[in-house]
Structure 1
Amino acid sequence: MAKIEKELQQAIVAMPQKEKDKLLLRLIGKDDILIQQLTFTLVEESLTMESRRDDIKVLIDKLYDTTNYSSGYLMMDMRYTNAEITRHVKVTKDKYGEVELTLKLLKECFEKQLKWIEKYSSKSDTLALYVVKRTDFLLKKVVKMHPDIQFDFHADMNTLLEYLHKYATAYYAKELQMPKKFEIAESDM
């Protein structure tokens, strides 16, 4: 992002309000995420968080309800869905939802599309690595949360880690030193 010189800042502040409003609206119109953030906070008044999460859950369900032609296509669809989760977090700042949705995406890969990640092969390799790296990302997010919130994810995280060390992902899980069990951090309170 370019730095605005002091003189230009002063000139912008001195502009008539009507001109500033036009300029502001034009600039906002160029940033899709900013438009969505403003819609979420100003129009929806942050009341649509649950429905937005539910929309992504439906997307995840559709992903795993369809027949995938290969592990490569499954991974591409998972990446697309993960991008939607990331977009959701950028718009809503929903850290809890990020963990909940990412956990659902990864866990259900094993539960609903196991044939693509069950046994290690050259075809499952890229998908296996992707799932392990996303799980590593997820673990780092969960560990930063309050222990009471970590408890909400404890059982599902342990199930995911069990899958990770059992199927085609086991090699990469070992390489990245993924834990076999998720332990809730002690509370400082």
Structure 2
Amino acid sequence: MKLSDHKDLKIAITDLPVKEKDKLMLRLIAKDKVLTEHLHYKLLENEIDLEDRKIKIKAEIEDQISALKKLNVKEALIKVRKMITSVNHFYKVTKDAYGEVELKIFILNVIPLEYKRSVLGYRDFGFLFATFYIKTLLVTINKHKKLHEDLQFDLNVDLNNLLQKVYSSKLASAAEAANLPQEIN
């Protein structure tokens, strides 16, 4: 049921006493963890807290990098997906598009691209890893293009380093197949 389809309900809600609205709002917010965290960020945090969130995510990722090098490709794919998911959660909470792009570029830059092959199983996790990596990079580049040009400029060096890393690895053919640019201007 969409609220826009029920204009009479919308009017009735706006006519409720303030105390009753507050109770309803608090009950609704409590049911959605992301909304609760978003409201906490929006109402109680500031720019310093935003930078602290980014620093915390970067520190967690840096802690996992040395262990990541010892994993097989299947285990690495699981870890990298969790890292990207943490950045997606960061964006849902803060709505900071620049921070999202910055963190994804950071992750894709620091994770290794070479892993041991998994001997067991019928799936080619090397292919799945390459596909996930390239798609994540494409999405990140598209979000980068939507940023203000001054913000894009701030991220261009790291993004170009990342593209150079990809094109000098085994992922170069997959990058070409996906029409991944070799350089961002």
Q: Which residue of 2 aligns with 1:187?
A: none
Q: How does 1:92-171 map to 2 (within 5 A)?
A: 92-109=94-111, 113-116=112-115, 122-171=124-173
CA offset digits 1:67-114 (Å, max 9, x no partner): 4421111111111111111111111111111111000110111xxx34
SS at match of 1:181: coil
Contact 2:34–2:93 (CA<8 Å) still a contact in 1? yes
Match for 1:88: what amino acid? Answer: F
Q: Which residue of 1 aligns with 2:24?
A: 23
Contact 2:73–2:129 (CA<8 Å) still a contact in 1? yes
CA distance in 2, matches of 1:41, 1:47: 13
Q: Which residue of 2 aligns with 1:182?
A: 184
Relative to its length, the structure with more helix (as a share) is 2
Structure 1 residue 46, shift from structure 2 partner: 4.8
Structure 1 residue 123, shift from structure 2 partner: 4.2
Structure 1 residue 179, shift from structure 2 partner: 1.2
Using structure 1 for the length normalisation, give the TM-score: 0.85
CA offset digits 1:4-59 (Å, max 9, x no partner): 52222222223222222111110011111111111111122454100000111012
Aligned pair count reads 178
Match for 1:2: what amino acid? Answer: K
User: What are the ranges of 5 or more consecutive residues in structure 2 without an aligned counterpart?
Assistant: 117-123
Cα-Cα RMSD: 2.2
Using structure 2 for the length normalisation, give the TM-score: 0.87
